[in-house]
Amino acid sequence: MDTSTLPKSRAEAKAKGAKYYFTGAPCKHGHVAPRKTKGACVGCLKAEWEKGNVARAEYFRQYNQSEAGKKAKQEYYEKNKGLVKLKALARPNEIRREYRKKHKQNNPDMYRALTRSRRRKHRNATPKWLTAEQKRAMRQLYIDAMTVTRITKVPYVVDHIIPLNGESVSGLHVPWNLRVITREENLRKSNQLVDIPQVTAYIESSGKIRLPDSPD
């Protein structure tokens, strides 16, 4: 706010219909700031607002750690999964990386359990009749995802075209059911089943891996 253009007194501000005036003298709390014609010193109002922000932040910090707060957050997430994911994807990559890093540091047991669960899920969904060549093709896809991530600085992951734990059908952990996509696209997809024609087209256009005619 340009104080040089403001009225010099409250009386002058009232006469001109201005919202603020500036005397150049400190208020009783020592703020040399504009004053509202119908209120207090702007510096005092700002200090009160900042104090209120601290109090509100502490209140919500304690509430979020309480059982009631955790239950409310879980219920909100269950009702608004799509919106929550879209808001998360809208955040800058730096903020998302920092959040994931902090969350992982604060929840080591949970991440160890998730890793074991993911490995077990992949192991259970991997057919015993896969050939060595097909297993190498799967490993290469994970290498490709890491390589593209390193080059582009955009997180890429290996996605199951037909999810391993789909809502209507579950796929297998096999090379023709894998593709490299961005983490953002993978989060949007979640465990939804993509269109079957897309799966068929992917298998037919791959040219590298062919479905076995009669697996043992």
Domain spans of the chain, in order of start: 3-69, 80-124, 127-211
Residue 22 has pLDDT above 90, yes or no: yes
pLDDT on residue 168: 61
Q: In this predicted model, what pLDDT tens digit does every residue of 74-130 receive, in sequence order?
A: 899 889 888 888 888 788 878 877 888 888 888 888 778 777 877 888 888 888 898
Alpha-carbon distance 77 to 70, whole Å? 11
Alpha-carbon distance 105 to 108, whole Å? 6
Confidence of residue 209 (pLDDT cuts 50, 70, 90): very low
The pTM is what?
0.44
Which pairs count as long-range contacts for 43-49, CB under 8 Å and 24+ apart, including other chains?
Answer: none
Cα→Cα distances 142→158, 159, 178, 198, Å: 6, 10, 10, 21
